[in-house]
Amino acid sequence: MNGDGVNVDRPAGLVKNAGGRVSDTNLAIVNAFRVARGRAPITMDQLAQSSGDRLIDVRLMKQVLFGSRRSRVDLFFEAYNLLNAVNYENPSGNLTSTSFAVRTVARDARQLQWGARFSF
Protein backbone atom coordinates (compact mmCIF):
# COMPACT_ATOMS: atom_id res chain seq x y z
CA MET A 1 0.00 0.00 0.00
CA ASN A 2 2.81 2.41 0.67
CA GLY A 3 4.81 1.39 -2.38
CA ASP A 4 7.84 -0.15 -0.71
CA GLY A 5 6.76 -3.72 -1.47
CA VAL A 6 7.47 -4.84 2.08
CA ASN A 7 5.42 -2.89 4.61
CA VAL A 8 1.72 -3.38 3.90
CA ASP A 9 0.27 -2.15 7.17
CA ARG A 10 0.44 1.61 6.53
CA PRO A 11 -2.50 3.10 4.65
CA ALA A 12 -2.11 5.40 1.69
CA GLY A 13 -1.80 9.02 2.75
CA LEU A 14 -0.38 8.32 6.21
CA VAL A 15 3.07 9.84 6.45
CA LYS A 16 5.86 7.51 7.62
CA ASN A 17 6.67 7.96 11.33
CA ALA A 18 3.42 9.86 11.92
CA GLY A 19 2.64 8.01 15.15
CA GLY A 20 2.03 10.22 18.15
CA ARG A 21 1.31 13.36 16.13
CA VAL A 22 -1.98 14.98 17.01
CA SER A 23 -3.70 15.33 13.66
CA ASP A 24 -7.35 14.92 12.69
CA THR A 25 -6.18 13.90 9.22
CA ASN A 26 -3.94 11.11 10.57
CA LEU A 27 -6.71 9.90 12.88
CA ALA A 28 -9.23 9.80 10.00
CA ILE A 29 -6.80 7.84 7.78
CA VAL A 30 -5.99 5.35 10.57
CA ASN A 31 -9.64 4.81 11.50
CA ALA A 32 -10.77 4.39 7.88
CA PHE A 33 -8.05 1.78 7.39
CA ARG A 34 -8.99 -0.07 10.61
CA VAL A 35 -12.75 -0.03 9.96
CA ALA A 36 -12.20 -1.39 6.43
CA ARG A 37 -10.44 -4.38 8.03
CA GLY A 38 -13.08 -4.98 10.71
CA ARG A 39 -11.18 -3.29 13.54
CA ALA A 40 -12.55 -0.76 15.99
CA PRO A 41 -11.61 2.89 15.49
CA ILE A 42 -9.24 4.54 17.96
CA THR A 43 -9.49 7.89 19.73
CA MET A 44 -7.27 10.95 19.44
CA ASP A 45 -6.04 10.25 22.98
CA GLN A 46 -4.75 6.85 21.89
CA LEU A 47 -3.03 8.32 18.83
CA ALA A 48 -1.33 11.11 20.80
CA GLN A 49 -0.37 9.28 23.98
CA SER A 50 3.19 9.75 25.18
CA SER A 51 5.27 7.39 27.28
CA GLY A 52 5.20 9.71 30.30
CA ASP A 53 7.91 7.67 32.02
CA ARG A 54 8.71 8.59 35.60
CA LEU A 55 11.87 6.74 36.51
CA ILE A 56 14.40 7.40 39.24
CA ASP A 57 17.23 4.91 39.71
CA VAL A 58 19.73 5.38 42.55
CA ARG A 59 22.88 3.67 43.81
CA LEU A 60 24.50 4.24 47.21
CA MET A 61 28.01 2.95 47.93
CA LYS A 62 30.31 2.77 50.93
CA GLN A 63 33.89 1.52 50.91
CA VAL A 64 35.24 -0.05 54.11
CA LEU A 65 39.01 -0.62 54.44
CA PHE A 66 40.49 -3.57 56.36
CA GLY A 67 43.96 -3.63 57.93
CA SER A 68 46.12 -2.93 54.91
CA ARG A 69 45.12 -0.50 52.20
CA ARG A 70 44.77 -3.39 49.77
CA SER A 71 41.90 -5.17 51.53
CA ARG A 72 38.46 -3.64 51.43
CA VAL A 73 34.77 -4.35 51.07
CA ASP A 74 32.48 -2.25 48.88
CA LEU A 75 28.90 -2.16 50.12
CA PHE A 76 26.13 -0.99 47.82
CA PHE A 77 22.40 -0.52 47.70
CA GLU A 78 20.50 0.04 44.43
CA ALA A 79 16.91 1.04 43.75
CA TYR A 80 15.28 0.94 40.32
CA ASN A 81 11.99 2.76 39.67
CA LEU A 82 12.25 4.25 43.14
CA LEU A 83 8.87 6.01 42.78
CA ASN A 84 7.22 2.68 41.90
CA ALA A 85 5.39 4.44 39.06
CA VAL A 86 3.62 2.46 36.35
CA ASN A 87 5.72 2.99 33.21
CA TYR A 88 4.19 1.46 30.10
CA GLU A 89 6.04 0.05 27.14
CA ASN A 90 5.08 1.35 23.71
CA PRO A 91 1.82 -0.13 22.39
CA SER A 92 1.60 -2.17 19.21
CA GLY A 93 2.17 -0.06 16.11
CA ASN A 94 0.51 -2.55 13.75
CA LEU A 95 -2.66 -0.85 12.48
CA THR A 96 -4.36 -4.21 11.85
CA SER A 97 -3.76 -5.48 15.41
CA THR A 98 -6.64 -5.51 17.89
CA SER A 99 -4.20 -4.06 20.43
CA PHE A 100 -3.06 -1.16 18.22
CA ALA A 101 -2.42 1.94 20.38
CA VAL A 102 -3.50 0.06 23.53
CA ARG A 103 -0.95 -0.04 26.33
CA THR A 104 -0.84 -3.61 27.57
CA VAL A 105 2.69 -4.08 28.97
CA ALA A 106 4.35 -2.19 31.81
CA ARG A 107 7.95 -2.13 32.90
CA ASP A 108 9.05 -3.65 36.19
CA ALA A 109 7.79 -2.25 39.45
CA ARG A 110 10.23 -0.96 42.08
CA GLN A 111 13.25 -3.22 42.52
CA LEU A 112 15.73 -3.00 45.39
CA GLN A 113 18.99 -4.86 45.80
CA TRP A 114 22.04 -4.76 47.99
CA GLY A 115 25.38 -6.43 47.89
CA ALA A 116 29.04 -6.46 48.77
CA ARG A 117 32.27 -6.89 46.86
CA PHE A 118 35.44 -8.02 48.60
CA SER A 119 38.82 -6.93 47.27
CA PHE A 120 42.07 -8.27 48.66
Complete DSSP assignment for 38-89:
T-----HHHHH---------EEEEEEEEETTTTEEEEEEEEEESTT----BP
pTM for the model? 0.60
For the stretch 82-94, pLDDT in tens is 999 988 888 877 7
Which residues, in sequence order, are CB contacts of 68 under 8 Å at separation 6+?
none
Mean pLDDT (whole number) for 57-84: 92
For the stretch 90-112, pLDDT in tens is 887 777 778 888 888 888 999 99
- Integer Cα distance of 118 and 73 in angstroms: 4
Is the distance from CB of 76 to CB of 58 less than 8 angstroms?
no
